[in-house]
Chains A and B, each alone.
Chain A
Amino acid sequence: MNASMNYLDGNAAAGELSRIFAVDLTSAEGQCANCGAKGRFAEAHLYMKCPGMVARCALCGHALLRLVNAGERLLLDLRGMNYLALVPSELQDSGR
């Protein structure tokens, strides 16, 4: 789908997401709100070289999550996922 292979994956988002979430989200399973595909957040295609961070569905390219560091605020858009499913007993702390 993406011939230039210029993306990372959800693992690379963990550091930025640790500023908001107390637990690591990369092992969470999410469902794409656009195509319905389910997958680990770690497998999402991540674009970080932009004025924000965008995680996209590996199947259809829909933006699952967007994060912007706007100076004094962090803005998070999670509309691209129907849900994120976490198993509390398996979670890692997100790191300091």
Chain B
Amino acid sequence: MTIISRGFAGRRSEAEAKLPPGQYLTTDFPVLSAGPTPHISPDRWEFTIDDGSNVLKRWDWKSFRQLPTDNITVDLHCVTRWSKLGTSWQGVSLDVLLAGVKTDLLYAMFRSYGDYTTNLPLKDIVNNQAWIAFNYDGVDLEPEHGGPARLLVPHLYLWKSAKWVRGMTLMQQDKPGFWENLGYHIYGDPWKEQRYSEE
């Protein structure tokens, strides 16, 4: 039996903006994590693209930071129901990272420092839909928010924007990552409210 708590509103604020179904607007930036915050120094960081057998591309921090970047302002929608609008990031587009990668494979599993993984169709991370972001709101991305670099895929729920990203493995078929294999939706479109996998 749910008791409505008189006068309780939580940390949210009123919103005129259009939000995906079931979401609430927040003005702070909640930190959600499934494990300890990794602390990766720039001299240790790398990002690799592999196809399960061979490494196709690799960048260390220095070579990664020499790539062209985009400044973007996007809305974030977390499956735990908070949304944060108009967030500013700087990052390298997946279009830049995948340039020159020839593949028939259609899916990718992104891997993070720690044990987190999340899967995405390649068609959802090309054409200006995804970045490896290293700067938030004008400053270096803090470790608790995924720094030194995180994946950012704003058109899907935020669990797909893997923090502490370290690489992507191209796959023939879509396979569920860390949360997708325990009840979360394999795709995760917030506008269709695809929070959980069907039975």
Contacts and interface: CB of A to CB of B under 8 A. Distances in A.
Interface stretch (A17-25, A35-43, A45-53, A84-92): A45-53
A68 interface: yes
Contacts of A70: 182-184, 195-197
Contacts of B3: none
B182 A71 contact: no
B32 A49 contact: yes
A68 B182 contact: yes
Given A68-B184, A70-B195, A71-B196, A52 B36 contact: no
Interface in B161-199: 179, 182-184, 195-197, 199
A50 B197 CA distance: 17
Interface SS of chain A: loop
Interface residues on B, range: 20 to 34
Contact of A68 (B33, B37, B183, B199): B183
A63 B87 CA distance: 31
A71 to B, nearest CB: 5
B35 A52 contact: no
Contacts of B182: 52, 66, 68, 70, 75, 77
A73 B36 contact: no
Interface residues on A, range: 20 to 34
A3 B39 CA distance: 9
A52 B116 CA distance: 13
Interface string B84-108: 0000000000000000000000000
9 contacts: A47-B33, A49-B32, A51-B78, A51-B159, A52-B182, A61-B115, A62-B115, A70-B184, A73-B199
